[in-house]
Amino acid sequence: MDSLERMGKENNTSVTEFILLGLSSNPAEELVFFEVFTAIYLVALMGNVLILLLVSLDSQLHMPMYFLLGNLSIVDIGYTSSTVPRMLANYLSGDKSISWAGCLSQMFFFISFGGVECLILGVMVYDCYLAICHPLHYGMFMSPRVCTLLAEAAWVMGLTNSAVHSSLMSILSFCWGNILHHFFCDIPPLFQLSCSDTRANQAVTIVVGGAIIFSSLLGTLVSYVHITMAVLRICTREESLNAFSTCASHLTVVSLYFGTILFTYLCPNSTYSQEQDRALPMLYGIIIPMLNPIIYSLRNKDVKGDLQKSLGRS
């Protein structure tokens, strides 16, 4: 680690690459991390690919709810693939360097998929709200065309948000070394290495990124309030408990996801610590994409039934 630190200090005049220290520089700990994150990545990949295949191949699942689940699976595959394979390769090879272009590309894809995930989660809860609170008008409010437009809007807004951040990041100068105490290139640690004035970048992060996060979070919370009121009004006690059990798991994941993102990207740069805060992106960028197929899909009786039929045929 000392040699990497010296390399970063010697290269502080013209940074062409960064050193990703990851979660640890201890070889024994790195081996453990490699095994753990390989398992997590494979579970996330297989779970999301399975859901995507089921939704694509079964015509009975060609409905707005499952169309959105398919989009979420695509996002989660891209989300984890933007960081985990590189981290695993670093642990295996011992070469933790990444070019400036590679660093910027990694940040672009990670922020893109993160923004799209925020918006897709909001649309999914809105779909659930319409199905429960306005069942008679559901077909009109959430027609296949409307659902497709909402999903497309989520992708466009997520990609645009990331393009803005990446463009502003690309014009910064870095002269405080090139050591990132992180497992991927992220906005806050790069801000700390920049010797440029990052106030404009931070303002854009708060305004543009905050608008996406808060709008999706607010819509999610409002929808859940209406869903709760509707469930209490129309369901029996047993049905209400089942519904709240599902909603509680959804809400727990959503709360963890939005909470960690808000803490990471909307806190002042002066309070950010690379060593202390690098575990948060691991939660919302790796762990939650692994949980999403279980929480949003495999607990769904239609998806489980379709999976059981497919396994039975096999």
What's the pLDDT tens digit per position in 75-107? 999 999 999 999 999 888 888 899 999 999 999
Amino acid sitting at position 302: D
Q: What pLDDT is stored for residue 1 in this prediction?
A: 46
Superfamily of 2-313 according to CATH = Rhodopsin 7-helix transmembrane proteins (1.20.1070.10)
Please tell me the least confidently modeled range out of 10-19, 105-114, 157-166: 10-19
Give the DSSP H or E segment for 35: helix 27-57
Task: Tell me which of 275 and 165 has the higher pLDDT.
Answer: 165
Determine contact, residues 134/89, Cβ cutoff 8 Å.
Answer: no
Determine contact, residues 39/56, Cβ cutoff 8 Å.
Answer: no
Half-sphere exposure of residue 314, counting CA atoms within 13 Å on the CB side? 6
**Cα Rg of the chain, angstroms:** 21
Amino acid sitting at position 63: M
Give the whole-number percent of the chain exceeding pLDDT 70. Answer: 80
Instruction: Tell me how many helices (H) and strands (E) the chain has.
Output: 15, 3
Task: Tell me which of 1 and 246 has the higher pLDDT.
Answer: 246
> What residues are paired with 99 via a beta bridge?
17
Please tell me the least confidently modeled range out of 1-10, 183-192, 287-296: 1-10
Q: Mean of the per-residue pLDDT values for the chain?
A: 82
Determine contact, residues 265/188, Cβ cutoff 8 Å.
Answer: yes
Q: What pLDDT is stored for residue 10 in this prediction?
A: 41
Please tell me the least confidently modeled range out of 80-84, 169-173, 266-270, 303-307: 303-307
Q: What pLDDT is stored for residue 199 in this prediction?
A: 86
Q: What band does 188 get if pLDDT is binned at 50, 70 and 90?
A: confident
Q: What pLDDT is stored for residue 107 in this prediction?
A: 94
CA end-to-end distance (rounded Å), the chain: 51
Determine contact, residues 79/110, Cβ cutoff 8 Å.
Answer: yes
SS3 state at 198: coil
SS3 state at 299: coil
Alpha-carbon distance of 289 to 6, in angstroms, equals 36
Residue 183, pLDDT > 80, answer yes
Residue 110, pLDDT > 90, answer yes
Determine contact, residues 80/44, Cβ cutoff 8 Å.
Answer: yes
Sheet holding 17-20, edge to edge: 97-99, 17-20, 179-180
Q: What pLDDT is stored for residue 13 in this prediction?
A: 45
At 226-253, the pLDDT tens digits run 888 887 776 666 666 666 666 666 777 7
Residue 2, pLDDT > 70, answer no
Give the DSSP H or E segment for 62: none
Strand stretches in the chain, DSSP E: 17-20, 97-99, 179-180
The encoded tokens of residue 201 equal: 């970048």
Task: Tell me which of 73 and 175 has the higher pLDDT.
Answer: 73
Residue 6, pLDDT > 50, answer no
* Burial (Cβ within 10 Å: 0-12, 13-18, ≥19) of residue 96: buried
Domain boundaries defined on the chain: 2-313
Alpha-carbon distance of 49 to 232, in angstroms, equals 35
